Amino acid sequence: MDDSQLIARLGVLRIEHRDLDSAIAALSREGPLDQLQLARLKKRKLLLRDEIAAIEDQLIPDIIA
C-alpha cells in the first residue's frame, strides 16, 4: 500500500475505533450487561488499536538520533 492508501485506511480504523467506544459505553449504561458481547467489542477495539499503531509505524519513518 502507498501512503495515501494507508492514510485512508487509518482514518477508517480510527472512526471504527471511536464507534466502538460509543457502543461499549452505551452497552455499559444499559440494564443487564451482556458480558460476552461487551468482551467481543473490547477485543475488536484492541485489535483496531494494534492495527492503527502498525499503520502509524509504517507512515512515520524511524529517526536514528
pTM of the model: 0.83
Q: Are 52 and 3 in contact (CB under 8 A)?
A: no
Give the separation between CA 50 and CA 31, rounded to whole angstroms: 31
From first to last of the 65 residues of the chain, give the pLDDT tens digit: 788 999 999 999 999 999 999 999 988 887 677 889 999 999 999 999 999 999 999 988 777 65
Distance of CA 64 to the CA centre of its chain: 28
